Structure 1
């Protein structure tokens, strides 16, 4: 059987490992887009590739600030800004939810304890749990910072799985002080579904004989892979539960390959292999900012984002061949620009490329910008594209200069070497 392991309220559970006084209290972790990288005095920025994802940035401060109470989210005007990245079950009892505005959450639960994120702690605990699981399960895959898949086939007999996963969750709590919930089923997709019904701090195994009873009543939106648009599409044809979806194979298959694959996942007909190692195929950086009209300042910020992303690309030791920059404006307007380029990667060239993409993408110049995003992907290791030989030797010189800058940034921080255009 396949198993899915999910840490309960991970960010809250993590902070409780160093502050036991928070046990059994309504606690939430706040989050704000890290716009401090745009400060000319910014320092101590670092990068992580292991577990980036939702609410887990690739770039963050290496040293967390000591002030982690509510004032961390209060602006100079006194207004509390930011959203919640997670909350404890005690807080959820008041209606507090992930992605809710902090101000709104405090209205629902005045006694809510708000803590600032501690990315270093999260990475440390996630790494410890990964190593712990690798000693107990032959094949283990880390899907995110708080989520793991395992394959027990040939290791644990199917009839012994409920006892194994129940024992495992208690061992993890005893040895690492982290509460987890574990689901088991014949496929990873159904195992993940089982985990959500085992929470909090529970375990649940789904066998073929109780598959229908478990799966059929579940709402379609509770199945991983069914987002807002697919949910709306299913609801439009009167499909509200997974049981109703399973009866409409023809309908799903008529919607194309994705819907056809989705049907098979829900029906337990297909499974995904456990990937002990995942190769990254793209990397990006984005920041939500206070509305800005000044294009000179926006270009300065593009320079800074490009510098951070360049550092990450060099650290990955890959050469991206596709580049994407997107802009979000006020009034819900968006724009973007793309380019494909198979050349030796250099810091300066990438910086210039990002500014050019910003100029192309900035089609709503009468509006203020509220978000900037840059992404690089289609690495040569995956795309197998050949690099252009045009100006190859000159670019090699610039590449060596980039390597020198990289060494300085690795030793002293990403902000150790900056472009003069950032200092405006």
Structure 2
């Protein structure tokens, strides 16, 4: 028995296997929309970013299609590194309006089957089909939606089906592209135990490294850990890991999202006219937005820069990425890239604003007893 388990015992959480949840995740969404609009791109490596030869080596990759990924190109990679890895890649700046339109069309298809839809971002959503409009099983509905999206929009998607959000999301990523993975309650534990810990939502490189130091490499290893030991090593996230590795996730599919964006802006009494001043101000704004995102446990796929000059002319510019963004340094890199596109120091900057939109939830649950137990980590 764990040392901490002898001090206090937490009640074992109960599971709910009665729901039918689908997670739909579009495959390389931005690049797929571009390939649909320009069929000549199909079969070629497509990278959503400005070509570094046009920007002096600057810029960041929003996403890349699966062919480009075979060269090692990934979201948030510098465009210059992407070019080095894949010099034959076709660089496209991207068309956010087209992506939004396609996203709305996809949601219209989903609504044929249920109104219980929670869009997590522009290219993914959860559906609760426990009760649905066609009295179909969840697997059939997922298949119908995938086929309709392909038939009507010529876009491919992957789907995961299970009894909660956690399992459905992991399942949707198992057989990309165009895959369908079903995890019924009877197979959930075997499925979870076979996963590498890196597959668990919320387990990034730093957390994975810490788990490895504790000899936790798979779901089976994580399952063997005591709940209070996980709290000791990982804080309140330890409770989430304890529940998830037991297939427990009670989060409902929420029809109404709480917030659409998180942003901060400052008006300056003296106009900023030096590059260093602007970049320092942008860094401070990114830090404030990062803190605000942490408070609401959100991350976003789109960052927006707002600039107002002494003349009161106001400009905005945005960039979207395939992965949710909650890293302040990455956010700052994107914001600086946007500044380089619309910034005019000679005009004198009176206001700067940074906003993250297209929000999605960070996989973490609150722990009511954490405040009582936090002294154990001292």
TM-score between both structures, scaled by the size of structure 1: 0.57
Q: What is aligned with 1:223? A: 200
Query: Aligned partners of 2:291, 2:242: CA distance in 1, in Å?
Result: 33
List runs of 5+ in structure 2 lacking aligned partners: 1-19, 266-270, 293-309, 311-330, 336-342, 352-378
| Corresponding residue number in structure 2 for 1:96 | 73
Max Rg structure = 1
Query: Does residue 203 in structure 1 map to residue 180 in structure 2?
Result: yes
Hey, what's the Cα distance between the residues in 1 that align with 2:79 and 2:333?
23
CA displacement, residues 192-223 of structure 1 (integer Å, 9 cap, x when unaligned): 00001021111111012222332212211121
Identify which of 226, 230, 235 aligns with 1:252.
230
Cα pair distance change 1:327/1:181, threshold 3 Å: closer
- Residue 153 of structure 1: CA displacement? 0.6
Listed as ranges, the matches of 1:146-295 within 5 Å are 146-155=123-132, 160-250=137-227, 251-255=229-233, 256-280=235-259, 283-284=262-263
Aligned-partner Cα distance in 1 for 2:196–2:103? 30
Compared CA separation, residues 303 and 270, structure 1 to 2 (3 A)? closer
Q: 1:103 to 1:373 in 2, by over 3 A?
A: closer
Task: State the SS of the aligned residue for 2:48.
Answer: strand
Displacement of 1:18: 1.3
Q: CA deviation at 1:120?
A: 1.2
Gap change, CA 1:373 and 1:20, over 3 Å in 2: closer
Q: Distance in 2 between matches of 1:107 and 1:421?
A: 35
| Distance change in 2, residues 1:304/1:107 (3 Å) | closer
Residues 327 and 265 of structure 1: is their aligned pair in 2 closer, same or farther, counting only changes over 3 Å? closer
The answer on whether the counterparts of 2:118 and 2:127 sit within 8 Å (CA) in structure 1 is yes
User: What's the C-alpha RMSD, in Å, of the aligned pairs?
Assistant: 3.7
Give the 3 Å change call, closer, same or farther, for CA 420–116 of structure 1 in structure 2.
closer
The 1:124/1:157 distance shift into structure 2, 3 A limit, reads: closer
- Partner SS state of residue 177, structure 2: coil
Equivalent position SS for 2:174: helix
Q: For the Cα contact (< 8 Å) 1:185–1:207, is it kept in 2?
A: yes
SS of residue in 2 equivalent to 1:283: strand
Pairing 1:2-81 to 2, within 5 Å after superposition: 2-30=21-49, 70=51, 74-75=54-55, 79-81=56-58
Given that residues 303 and 422 in structure 1 are in contact (C-alpha distance below 8 angstroms), is that contact kept between their aligned partners in structure 2?
Answer: no
Q: Which residue of 2 aligns with 1:318?
A: none
Deviations 1:66-85 (A, max 9, x none): xxxx37x623xxx3222211
